[in-house]
Amino acid sequence: SHTEFRDKASLIQQQFGEPGYRLVNLSVDTGHYFPQPAMERGMLMSADMAVKSSAPVALEAGSNTVSVTVRGSIQLVSDPSQLSP
């Protein structure tokens, strides 16, 4: 997660003895996961049936696992005046 990335960046900055770091690039990949309601997975609706249906689509109970990958680049900053407040 973003917090884990920030923690690792801070650890690297401290290990190099620099007063700070600047985030250069950050990419978050969710694997294009979009949960689908149970009805969409189970059957296709005709256009007439979809229009006539006024009840909300019920979601299936249970749990899902979602993986997120965070990648980024940092630049160590040795001049404290270059750090953002």
What pLDDT, on a 0 to 100 scale, did the predictor assign at position 40? 46
What pLDDT, on a 0 to 100 scale, did the predictor assign at position 64? 78
- pLDDT band for position 85 (50/70/90)? low
- pLDDT band for position 58 (50/70/90)? low
- Residues 73 and 8: beta-carbon distance below 8 Å: no
Q: Can you tell me the distance from the alpha carbon of 40 to that of 38, in angstroms, rounded to the nearest whole number?
A: 6
Q: Can you tell me the distance from the alpha carbon of 57 to that of 5, in angstroms, rounded to the nearest whole number?
A: 37
Report the share of the chain in percent with pLDDT over 70: 65
Domain ranges of the chain: 1-32
pTM: 0.53
- pLDDT band for position 28 (50/70/90)? confident
